[in-house]
Amino acid sequence: MNAVAGSTRGALTVAVLAGGRSSEHEVSLSSGAAVREGLISAGHEVRWVEIGRDGIWRTEDEPLSTTPGTGLLGVDVVFPALHGPFGEDGTVQGMLETLDVAYVGSGVAASAVSLDKVLFKELMSASGVPQVDYVGVREDRHRRSGSEVLEEISRLGFPVFVKPAHQGSSMGIVKVTEAARLAEALDSAFVHDPLVIVEAMARGVEVECGVLDRPRAERSAATGRALASVAGEILYPGDWYDFSAKYTVGGMELRVPARISETASERVRELALKAFLEAGCDGLARVDFFIDGELVLVNELNTMPGFTPTSVYAKLMAASGVGYPELVDRLCRLALERQAEQRAYSY
């Protein structure tokens, strides 16, 4: 697989946003710290902006005020290393658009769609992307028509996974093995989100694939718009990939390349790119799959995956020829290129 060429252009000043109001606050701080070090290693100047659990933006321990149309701290580009609601869901992206500053990653619509697990699956279904069977449940409907909802879910078979629709990092997920536990699991998920997704249990192995946009000058019929990484297989000791497995040292192992057939590997890369494009993503994404023999099912797409050097996305890109400093540099250059293109349009 061909690596993406690194940039030799001058240094940038980059604001790294980290923290945020969501339950993934600490994960975001770890991602942001790693991004900061990667950018420094790539020769860039970094301004650290930490968003507290109270939602206040601070830089150098002082509250940060912003004015629409004036950018942010005079930087060239913003790297929002934020996960979950109030950061990865289009809200911060909309604010950055209002500030008129270039930023890494997907825009408002793609961010919002991709973090909404139900809406994302509906979009993938309309696009012909194979995926796990699911039922979306809104809290108000569950309160009004609980028996009807439970009957719909039971048609998926057991076990099922009950998930808040807008959470990442396996937050709030409950595995349910019998119908008698469904109502309790739904109530638990509704504590986090008024929209819940219930998914059938998929057989086979869990595989992840990273996607990285190419600069316009490097796109061709042969290379395509973006690079899809080698597929990586997720190994963990429990019976599902929960928060502990993701974030406890030694809780999971990434095997690269995944132990799947070449046909399945090609299908993973093909569907990763298709999901990325159909969702309208920019810059980067990590797409997660279930693989059972030659059957490849898309699970979800993350527009801002974990970003430490030991995170899955960074490891997948490194295995595909894109080292960490080059990766964060490339993402900033792509953000500037996208902003320049958008400014060429008359709105």
- 24 belongs to the catalytic site: yes
Distance between alpha carbon 4 and the CA centroid of its chain, in Å?
21
- 184 belongs to the catalytic site: no
Catalytic residue among 106, 302, 311, 320: 302
Q: What is the pLDDT of residue 238?
A: 63
What is the pTM assigned to this prediction? 0.91
- 47 belongs to the catalytic site: no
- 283 belongs to the catalytic site: no
Banded pLDDT at 262 (limits 50, 70, 90): very high
Q: Which amino acid is at 17?
A: L
pLDDT digits (tens, 9 = 90+) for 114-129: 999 999 999 999 999 9
Catalytic residue among 47, 269, 286, 330: 286
Domain 13-111 architecture: 3-Layer(aba) Sandwich (3.40)
- CB distance 320 to 37 below 8 Å: no
Domain ranges of the chain: 13-111, 134-200, 203-337
Which distant-in-sequence residues (6+ apart) come within 8 Å of 8 by Cβ? none
Neighbours of 180 (CB within 10 A): 8
Over residues 55-60, mean pLDDT: 97
Catalytic residue among 97, 247, 321, 323: 247
Q: Which amino acid is at 282?
A: D
Nearest to 274 by CA among 302, 303, 298: 298
Catalytic residue among 114, 169, 311, 320: 169
Catalytic residue among 300, 324, 326, 329: 300
Nearest to 331 by CA among 240, 226, 246, 241: 226
Catalytic residue among 88, 213, 288, 326: 288
Domain 134-200 architecture: 2-Layer Sandwich (3.30)
pLDDT digits (tens, 9 = 90+) for 295-312: 999 999 999 999 987 799
Measured CA to CA, the distance from residue 176 to residue 181 in angstroms comes to 6
Over residues 104-114, mean pLDDT: 98
- 288 belongs to the catalytic site: yes
pLDDT digits (tens, 9 = 90+) for 311-339: 999 999 999 999 999 999 999 999 999 99
Catalytic residue among 22, 24, 242, 320: 24
- 255 belongs to the catalytic site: no
Q: Which percentage of the chain shows pLDDT scores above 70?
A: 92
| CATH (one of 3.40.50.720, 2.30.110.10, 3.30.470.20, 3.40.190.10) for 203-337 | 3.30.470.20
Catalytic residue among 32, 107, 306, 313: 306
pLDDT at 250 over 70: no
